[in-house]
Amino acid sequence: MGRIAYLNGRFERHAEAFVHIEDRGYQFADAVYEVWALFDGKLSDPDGHFARLERSLSELQIDMPMSRNALTIVLRETVRQNRIRDGLLYLQVSRGVAPRDHAFPTTPTSPAIVITAKAIDRATAEAKAAKGVSVITVPENRWGRCDIKTVGLLPNAMAKQAAKEKGAAEAWFVDDLGFVTEGASSNAWIVTANGTVKTRDTNANILRGVTRYTLLDILQAEGISIDQSPFTPAEALAANEAFITGAGALVLPVVALDGKPIGNGKVGPMASRLRCLYIEQARATAI
Ligand code: PLP
């Protein structure tokens, strides 16, 4: 983790940055977050992440703590102070501090803002992508508003832990109808036997991944056939390839599901190509 964190208007040493015990993010998960991939110290997919932040906040009736422009300056300054080139930038905005009561405070609170940044070794990330990762499935057990990017991530954390215990990098939630919804921290995709790239639509109870949208644009520009509909784990096992997308994963090939190989069990050409195309575009459009 970088050495400097931004906390409510000040840059502080990371080890000494603390939030209040009655912050509603801490007590009720009454907070939203965003994560940007950083390329050469710049924020990837800026518009998508800002738009989703504004939407998440508005769904919870929390005010944007500052304008997009001001926030961009603070986010970039956090990156600069931590001297990060490739990495991840984390922003959390909670409703703020108030005496503990479930209903929103009647006296207006100031949203509490935390920003941290951490470096990622791209060579290690590329080596991981070249090998591909394993995924497990877990029953969907999250609330009905996964479209809001809140910090209420306990089911996601438990799913990720279950994956880790089985030597997998991600867990895919499977709903009551037997369809994959999304990963614990990524969107789920397959490449079918006829070369169509499939990911489920966002009318479902999933996060509207910013990487997902950018990749859909890339697929369209490349003339690759897209199917935005749900798929089952059995379809994934019968697919040529699978991969996940997210600010952390970027486009990360998946080679096994629940211990069984997908396709020939090796990283496929489509996932590798899409990873390159995504990184190229994200670098070019980062601010
Ligand atoms: N789905 C979930 C549950 C996530 O937590 C994330 C990212 O953190 C994603 C999907 C991918 O979203 P994005 O591409 O915006 O990072």
Atom of ligand 1 nearest to the CA of 156: 3
Enclosing domain of residue 225: 125-285
For residue 35, the CA-to-ligand 1 centroid distance in Å is 8
Catalytic positions, please? 149
pLDDT score of 96: 98
Atom of ligand 1 nearest to the CA of 248: 16
Residues 92 and 216 in one domain: no
Is the entire prediction scored with pTM above 0.85? yes
Q: Do residue 248 and residue 162 come from a single domain?
A: yes
Residue whose CA is closest, atom 4 of ligand 1? 185
Residues 204 and 230 in one domain: yes
Among the candidates 96, 120, 144, a domain finishes at 120
- Any ligand 1 atom below 6 A from CB of 188: no
Q: Are residues 136 and 228 in the same domain?
A: yes
Looking at the structure, tell me whether residues 110 and 237 fall in a common domain.
Answer: no
Q: Do 222 and 131 fall into the same domain? A: yes
> Among residues 120, 140, 165, which one ends one of the domains?
120
Which CATH number is 79's domain given? 3.30.470.10
Look at ligand 1, atom 7, and give the residue with the nearest C-alpha.
Answer: 185
Average the pLDDT over 11-24 and give the result: 97
Q: Which residue among 120, 148, 183 closes a domain?
A: 120
Mean pLDDT of the chain: 97
SS (H, E, C) the chain: CCCEEEECCEEEEHHHCCCCCCEHHHHHCCEEEEEEEEECCEECCHHHHHHHHHHHHHHCCCCCCCCHHHHHHHHHHHHHHCCCCCEEEEEEEECCECCCCCCCCCCCCCCEEEEEEEECCHHHHHHHHHHCEEEEEEECCCCCCCCCCECCCHHHHHHHHHHHHCCCCEEEEECCCCCEEEECCCEEEEECCCCCEEECCCCCCCCCCHHHHHHHHHHHHCCCCEECCCCCHHHHHHCCEEEEEECCCEEEEEEEECCEECCCCCCCHHHHHHHHHHHHHHHHHCC
Cα–ligand 1 centroid distance for 38 (angstroms): 15
Percent of the chain whose predicted confidence (pLDDT) is above 70: 99
Q: Are residues 187 and 252 in the same domain?
A: yes
In the reported structure, the alpha carbon of residue 233 is separated from the centroid of ligand 1 by a whole-number distance in angstroms of 20
Tell me: the pLDDT tens digits for 200-247?
999 999 999 999 999 999 999 999 999 999 999 999 999 999 999 999
Residues 176-211 have pLDDT tens digits of: 999 999 999 999 999 999 999 999 999 999 999 999
Same domain, 95 and 25: yes
Are 177 and 213 in the same domain?
Answer: yes
Please identify, by atom number, the ligand 1 atom nearest to the C-alpha of residue 182. Answer: 1
The predicted structure's pLDDT at residue 2 = 59
Q: State the pLDDT confidence band at 35, using cuts at 50, 70 and 90.
A: very high
Q: How confident is the model at residue 1 (pLDDT cuts 50, 70, 90)?
A: low
Residues 227 and 260 in one domain: yes
Identify whether residues 50 and 192 lie together within a single domain.
Answer: no
Same domain, 155 and 41: no
**If pLDDT is split at 50, 70 and 90, which confidence band does 116 have?**
very high
pLDDT value of residue 250: 98
